[in-house]
Structure 1
Amino acid sequence: MKKTIQTSSVVKSLVSSRERKLDLLLAIYITSIVAAELMGAKTFPLFFLNASVAIFTLPITFIINDVVTEVEGKARSLSFMRSTFIILFLLALFNILAISLPPSTRSAAFEPAYQTIFAKSLRMTLASLVAFFLAERLDIYIFAKIRARLQGSGLWLRSNASNIISLFFDTSIFMFLAFFDGANANFVWSLVLPYWGLKCLFSMVETPITYLAVNWLKKS
C-alpha cells in the first residue's frame, strides 16, 4: 500500500512538472505569435531583403509545435494553436475598436503615431489569421504523419520537413491574401520565396534547440 502511494505521488509530481513546462511553452508560443502580429510591420535590412522582424519569432512557433507533438501528441499541439488563434482574433477585434474610437484631447497629439502603428488594414489582419490557422495545423499534421511513418525516429527530419513545408504555405498564403491584386503574381512570388528561404534557414539553425527542448520536456 505504501509503495502504491509513493508511486502515485511520483506520477503526480512528474505530471505537475511537465504541465508547468507546457505552460511555459504555451506562453512562449503565444508571445511569439502576438509579437509577430504587433511588431511585424517593422522591417530591417537583412542580406538582400527588407525583412520583417517577425522572421525571428515565427520559426519559434513551429519548433514548439514539433516539441509538443513529439512529447505530448497532436491533440495538445492543436490546443496550443486554437488558444492562440482565439487570442489573435480577439486582438484583431480590440484593435479595430481602439483605432475607430476618437482620441481625447490629451492623446490627440499622438493619434497619428498610434494610427500608424496599429491601423493595419483589415485585409492584412485577415491574411495573418488565415495563414496562421492553416499553416500551424499543417505543420502539426505533417510532423505527426512522418513520426508515425518513421516510428518515432529521425526527429531532425520530421522537424525540418514539416517546418519547411508549412512555412512555405504560411508565407504564400499571407503574401497572396495581403498583397495580390489579380495581376501582380510575379511581385508576390518575389516576396514569398526569399522570405520563405530565410524562415527555413532560421528553422534549420534552430534544430539543436528542438532536440534540447524535447529532452527538457521529457525530464521530470
Structure 2
Amino acid sequence: MSNEWLWIIFAIINFSLLLGVYRLFGKTGLFVWIGMATVIANVQVVKTIELFGITATLGNILYGTAFLATDILNEKYGKKDAKKAVWLGFSTLLVMTFVMQGALLFTPAEGDIAQSSIETIFGIGPQIALGSLTAYIVSQYFDVWIYTKIRKVFHSNRTLWLRNNASTMISQLLDSAIFCAIAFYGTYPLDIWLEIFLTTYIIKFIVAALDTPFMYWAKSMSRKEEAFND
C-alpha cells in the first residue's frame, strides 16, 4: 500500500478514535485527547515520510486532531473550556519536554539498548523545543479566538464547515510560520527554509480539510455525555 493511501486511512482512524473517546467520555475525553495527542505528535514528528511528492513529518495528523478537539469544545461548550484545553495541552508538552531532557542526563548501563533511541526521539535542541512550545500555545490560542469571532458572523449549522476550516487553516499557517521561524530560520538558506515551511503547511492544510465531516459528526452527538462531567 502506498504512503498516500496509508496516510488517508491513518487520518480517518485518528479522527474516528477522537470521536470515539468523545462519545465514551464526553468533554473529559476531549481534554485527555488533547494532552495525549500533543505528546504523541511530538514523538511521531521525528519520522519523515515521502507523501504526495514531498517530504513530510508523520505527526501532522495527530497534531491536527488536537485542533479539531479544541474546535469541538469551542462549538459545544464555549471559549472558556477551549482555552482550558489549550493550556492543558501546553502543560503536557512542557512537562514531557522537561522530564525527557532530564532522563537523558542519566548515564546508561553498559548493556543498555534504549539510550540512543531515546536521544533520537527526545534529544531535541533548545531552539526546536522553544519553537514547538511557542508555536503550540500561540496558534492554539489564536484558533480559539478566531473560531469565536467567525462564529459570531457565521453561526448556523450550515456554516460549521466554514468556521472549522477557516480557524484551523489560518491557525495552522501561524503554527508553521512560528515553528519554522524559531526552529530553522538562519539554520538553512532562505530557499530551503521556505520549502520546509510550505511543505509543512500544505500537509497541515490537507489534514484540516479532512476533519470537516468529523466536526459535523461531533456536533450531532447527543449531549448526554455531560453526565460524565457535571
> Same fold by TM (over 0.5)?
yes
Kindly provide the amino acid, as one letter, of the partner of residue 71 in structure 1: K
What is the alpha-carbon distance in structure 1 between the residues aligned to residue 54 and residue 150 of structure 2?
Answer: 33
Aligned length: 203
Partner in structure 1 of residue 81 of structure 2: 76
Residue of structure 1 aligned with 2:216, choices 193, 211, 214: 211
Is 2:62 the partner of 1:36?
Answer: no
Q: Summarize the Cα distance change of 1:156–1:199 in structure 2 as closer, same or farther, 3 Å threshold.
A: same
Residue of structure 2 aligned with 1:104, choices 99, 106, 109: 109
1:164-183 correspondence runs (5 A):
164-181=169-186
Quote how far apart the aligned CAs of 1:187 are: 1.9
Residue of structure 2 aligned with 1:21, choices 19, 22, 26: 26
Partner in structure 2 of residue 90 of structure 1: 95
The residue matched to 1:51 in structure 2 has which SS? strand
What is the alpha-carbon distance in structure 1 between the residues aligned to residue 188 and residue 122 of structure 2?
Answer: 28
Q: Summarize the Cα distance change of 1:134–1:200 in structure 2 as closer, same or farther, 3 Å threshold.
A: same
What is the alpha-carbon distance in structure 2 between the residues aligned to residue 168 and residue 186 of structure 1?
Answer: 18
Moved more, 67-76 or 174-183: 174-183
Please list every run of 5 or more consecutive structure 1 residues that lacks an aligned counterpart in the other structure.
1-16
Is 2:121 the partner of 1:117?
Answer: yes
What is the alpha-carbon distance in structure 2 between the residues aligned to residue 136 and residue 149 of structure 1?
Answer: 21
Please list every run of 5 or more consecutive structure 2 residues that lacks an aligned counterpart in the other structure.
1-21, 226-230
Kindly provide the amino acid, as one letter, of the partner of residue 64 in structure 2: P
- Contact persistence 2:147–2:167 (CA under 8 A): yes
Kindly provide the amino acid, as one letter, of the partner of residue 91 in structure 1: M
Give the alignment's TM-score, normalised by structure 2: 0.81
Q: Summarize the Cα distance change of 1:29–1:217 in structure 2 as closer, same or farther, 3 Å threshold.
A: farther
What is the alpha-carbon distance in structure 1 between the residues aligned to residue 77 and residue 117 of structure 2?
Answer: 44
Quote how far apart the aligned CAs of 1:18 are: 8.9
Q: Deviations over 1:156-186 (max 9, x none)?
A: 1001110110000101111121111177333
Partner in structure 1 of residue 19 of structure 2: none
Q: Deviations over 1:54-93 (max 9, x none)?
A: 1211211111111110110111000001111111111111
In percent, how many aligned pairs have the same letter?
A: 25
The runs of at least 4 consecutive aligned structure 1 residues that moved more than 6 Å come to none
Q: Deviations over 1:19-57 (max 9, x none)?
A: 930111122222211111122110111012221111211
What is the alpha-carbon distance in structure 1 between the residues aligned to residue 203 and residue 108 of structure 2?
Answer: 40
Residue of structure 1 aligned with 2:56, choices 51, 65, 73: 51
- Contact persistence 1:18–1:218 (CA under 8 A): no
1:136-155 correspondence runs (5 A):
136-153=140-157, 154-155=159-160
Q: Summarize the Cα distance change of 1:130–1:210 in structure 2 as closer, same or farther, 3 Å threshold.
A: same
Kindly provide the amino acid, as one letter, of the partner of residue 180 in structure 1: Y
Which structure is larger by alpha-carbon Rg, 1 or 2?
A: 1
Quote how far apart the aligned CAs of 1:146 are: 0.7
Moved more, 157-166 or 20-29: 20-29
- Contact persistence 2:147–2:164 (CA under 8 A): yes
The residue matched to 1:100 in structure 2 has which SS? coil
- Contact persistence 1:71–1:217 (CA under 8 A): no
What is the alpha-carbon distance in structure 2 between the residues aligned to residue 56 and residue 173 of structure 1?
Answer: 19
What is the alpha-carbon distance in structure 2 between the residues aligned to residue 194 and residue 183 of structure 1?
Answer: 15
